[in-house]
Amino acid sequence: MAILVTGGAGYIGSHTCVELIQAGYDIVVVDNLCNSHKEAIHRVSELTNQSFTTYHIDLMDRELLELVFAKHDIEAVIHFAGLKAVGESVERPMKYYRQNLYSTIVLCEVMEKFGVYQLIFSSSATVYGIPKQMPIDEDAPLGAINPYGRTKQMIEQMLQDLAHANPHWRISLLRYFNPVGAHESGRIGEDPGGVPNNLLPFIAQVAIGRRKEVAVFGNDYDTIDGTGVRDYIHVVDLALGHLKALSKLSESSNLQVYNLGTGRGYSVLEMIAAYEKASGRKIPYRIASRRPGDIGLCYANTAKANAELGWRTERGIDEMCRDSWRWQSMNPNGYKQEEVFAEQV
Ligand code: NAD
Ligand code: WQD
């Protein structure tokens, strides 16, 4: 029996593949590499000393996906594949609705056809939109404020309807807060194409000298130092949350929702200071205006995941910055360097 990991070459997927293999699971990966590199898969294999099958296909290609299900004895799916850039989703909404919704529809239909009913879905704290209470618990009202977030909210709704219609389904909706950091080996990590949208990869690229300074988006929020506060979670803790959710799938009711965060927030300036400490480098920054659509404060109530999944984060801000820096300094150009090298030999 194998776990199918969609989007397994991506940032969170690759870290989860490592933890799955190390916990003894067989895995099969499907990824169209639209936002990732084959090299990530090679490194997962190297880190775990295990080979596994990876299909370079698009989830929307039903025929090919059916071949994957026909060939492997799949018991559960962890569905990471999707587009995730908020800004791009505002500019190209149909690309996001098409790719995120349709790939999930095809996946669920193929799963039903092959009698595979266990699914873990990558949702996001973004579904809460502008939260009215802090910390945010799973019962807080939803109200995503951009097309990307709305695709996540719509998929959640679709999966709830599916679970309601067919009691065979066992579905876990995991709402991630702000994943950061990298595997402690420094071999796999986050490798954004172009200008990073998120804070930590931007700080990392300033630290390594690829960018001049961090623009801090607003210092007039009602927070500890006026800058935005977020619940950053180490990607390995997040990956381990998936293993817990997987082991609980068959025991729980047929649809569950969990926040995956640490329950504590850090400001932009606190993150910059922690990164300076971890890297031993000065991180120049300037205060810029607020980013449209940003909120001041966002952190999770993690009580439900702690109690029901028996899961707790173990890595704090120092480990997040240390591991991000190790990855960034060992791979100043992300995965590209080795691909170029491989093409030359
Ligand atoms: P990522 O872009 O690194 O990984 C996604 C992977 O899916 C990529 O390897 C991409 O090539 C693949 N993919 C995309 N569309 C596909 C398709 N149609 N068929 C096959 N493969 C496809 O992103 P990530 O940061 O690892 O995020 C994983 C999931 O978690 C996404 O669904 C994302 O929306 C969600 N999420 C991410 C964050 C975050 O900040 N990173 C926060 C909350 C939720
Ligand atoms: C964090 C803080 C910024 C960049 C986004 C998505 C969300 C989810 C995670 C997928 C904020 C500030 C940032 C910079 C800055 N992704 N910042 N300068 O906005 O919480 O969430 O990623 O689901 O959907 O919206 O994360 O890392 O962009 O920002 O000052 O150059 O850093 O204002 O306070 P965010 P982020």
Mean pLDDT in the chain?
96
Could you tell me what percent of the chain has a pLDDT over 70? Answer: 97
Above 60 in pLDDT, residue 133?
yes
The DSSP-derived string for 282-325 is ---EEEEPPPTT--SEE-B--HHIIIII-------HHHHHHHHH
> Is 148 marked active-site?
yes
- What confidence category does residue 251 fall into, taking pLDDT thresholds of 50, 70 and 90? confident
CA–CA separation, 57 and 33 (whole Å): 8
CA–CA separation, 83 and 242 (whole Å): 19
Among 148, 232, 266, 335, the one annotated catalytic: 148
- What confidence category does residue 344 fall into, taking pLDDT thresholds of 50, 70 and 90? very low
Closest approach atom of ligand 2 to CA 126? 24
Going along 206-254, which residue ranges are E strands?
214-217, 229-230, 232-234
pLDDT tens, 100-118?
999 999 999 999 999 999 9
What ligand has the least distance to the C-alpha of 95?
1
Which residues are CB-contacts of 341 (< 8 A; sequence separation ≥ 6)? none
Largest CA distance in the chain: 56
Q: Which helix (H) or strand (E) holds 90?
A: helix 86-91
Above 80 in pLDDT, residue 252?
no
Above 80 in pLDDT, residue 4?
yes
Q: Please name the residue whose Cα sits nearest to atom 25 of ligand 1.
A: 11
Mean pLDDT to the nearest integer, 267-288: 98
Q: What is the pLDDT of residue 337?
A: 67
Is 36 touching ligand 1 by the criterion CB < 6 Å? yes
Mode of pairing for the β-strands spanning 118-124 and 170-176:
parallel
Above 60 in pLDDT, residue 340?
no
CATH 2.50.20.10 is held by the domain 2-330:
no
pLDDT tens, 121-131?
999 999 999 99
Q: Please name the residue whose Cα sits nearest to atom 22 of ligand 1.
A: 81
Q: Please name the residue whose Cα sits nearest to atom 21 of ligand 1.
A: 31
Mean pLDDT to the nearest integer, 302-319: 98
List all residues whose CB is within 6 A of at least one atom of ligand 2: 84, 86, 124, 126, 149, 178, 197-199, 202, 214-217, 228, 230, 268, 291, 294
R_g over Cα of the chain: 19
Above 80 in pLDDT, residue 310?
yes
Q: What is the pLDDT of residue 9?
A: 98
Mean pLDDT to the nearest integer, 144-148: 97
Q: Hey, where are the domains in the chain?
A: 2-330
| 88 CA to centre of ligand 2 in angstroms | 14
